[in-house]
Amino acid sequence: MSAVLEVHNVWKRYPGDPPVESLRDVSLTIREGELVAIVGPSGSGKTTLLHVMGTLDRPTQGEVCVAGQDASEFSDLELSGLRAHHLGFVFQQFFLLDGVSVLDNVANGLLYRGLPLRERRRRAREALERVGLGHRTGHRPNQLSGGERQRVAIGRAVVGSPAIVLADEPTGNLDTAAGAAVVALLRDLNRDGTTIAVITHNHDVAAAMRRRIELRDGRIVGDSGVGT
C-alpha cells in the first residue's frame, strides 16, 4: 500500500516567551486504505497536527507530503490546489452553509475543482446516497439533526474521492447515538476504500479505528501500527 500522507520530523513552534511548541519532531505515515485515530488529551497538539497534515498550516520545521507531493515549498495557490484535489475535511462544527441546500453543500466539495454545476450535483447525489441521506437533498442544513448535518459534512469531504479524509473531532458536537452512527459511517466508508484519519480525545471513537496514534505534549507516544 502506498503512502497517501507522510509527516517527517515536523515541529510547530509559536513565538512567545517562552515559545510554545505544539508539535515536537512528529513523524508518521498514513497509507492508502487506513482508518487512523489520532488521540490525545486537549492541548496535546492534535488540532495543530491535523492542520499541518491538511496543509492549512505550515510546519515551522519538517516536511509534509500529500499524495506523493512535498508541500513544503508550495505556494498558497498550490496548497489550495492540493486541498481541492487530494484532501477532504470534516469539522466538529460541521460548517455547512445555511443558505444553501444539502445537495449544494455537498456539491461545494467540488467547487474549487472547476467542474460544471451539473456534474458537481450528480456526484453530490451519489455521495449523499453513500452517507445515507439520499432522501434529504432538497433540505436546508438547519432542518436536519446534528447527526445528519455531520453526515452531510462527511458527504462533502468524500464527494471528490480525496486521497485522505481528515476529521477533527467529528463526534464532538453529537450525542452518543448520533456519534456512534457517524463512527459507523466512517468505518463503512473506509471499508469501501476511503483513507480516513480521525482526531479525537474520545477513547470509544478511537477504539473503533483500526490504528491508533497517541499524541501527548506534541510528541507521538504510541502507535498501534498499521492495522489490517
Partner 1 sequence: MKARARPRLRLTDAMLAGTVGLRARRLRAVFSALGICIGVAAIVGVLGVTQSSEADLLAQIDRLGTNLLTVEKGQGIGGSEGPLPLTAPSMIGVLPGVQRVSSTATLPGGVYRSDLVPTFETGAIGLRTTDPSLLQTLNGRLLAGTFLNAATARYPVAVLGYGAAQALGVATLDDPVRIWTHGRWLTVAGILAPVQLAPEIDRSVLVGLDFAASDLGFDGFPTRLYVRADPERVVAISQVLGRTTNPENPDQVRVARPSDALAARLAVQSSGTSLFVGLGAVALLVGGVGVANVMVISVLERRSEIGLRRALGATRLHVAVQFLSESLLLSTLGGAAGIGTGVALTAALAIQQGWNVLVPAVAVLGGLVAATAIGAVAGLYPALRAARMAPTDALRTV
Of residues 90 and 211, the one with the C-beta less far from partner 1: 90
226 binds partner 1 (CB under 8 A): no
CB 52 within 8 A of CB 218: no
Neighbour-count burial for 53-78, b at 16+ CB within 10 Å, e otherwise: bbbebbbbebebbbbeeebeebeeee
CB 178 within 8 Å of CB 147: yes
Minimum distance, C-beta of residue 51 to partner 1, in the bound complex (Å): 5
Q: Hey, which residues between 42 and 71 contact partner 1 (CB under 8 A)?
A: 51, 54, 56-57, 67-69
Q: Does 73 bind partner 1 (CB under 8 A)?
A: no
Task: Name the residue nearer to partner 1 (CB basis): 33 or 109.
Answer: 109
78 binds partner 1 (CB under 8 A): yes
Nearer to partner 1, 19 or 116 (CB): 116
| CA proximity to 202, closest of 194, 217, 212 | 212
CA distance 40 to 18: 23
Asked if 143 is part of the footprint of partner 1 (rule: CB under 8 A), the reply reads no
| Residue 215 zone, left/alpha/beta (φ > 0; ψ -120 to 50; rest) | beta
Closer of 147 and 160 to partner 1 (Cβ): 160
Grouping H, G, I as helix, E, B as strand and the rest as coil, residue 60 is coil
| Pairwise CA distance, residues 137 & 44, whole Å | 38
Residue 141 binds partner 1, judged by CB under 8 A: no
Q: Which stretches of the chain bind partner 1, using CB under 8 A?
A: 51, 54, 56-57, 67-69, 76-78, 80-87, 89, 91-93, 95, 97-100, 108-109, 111-114, 116-117, 156
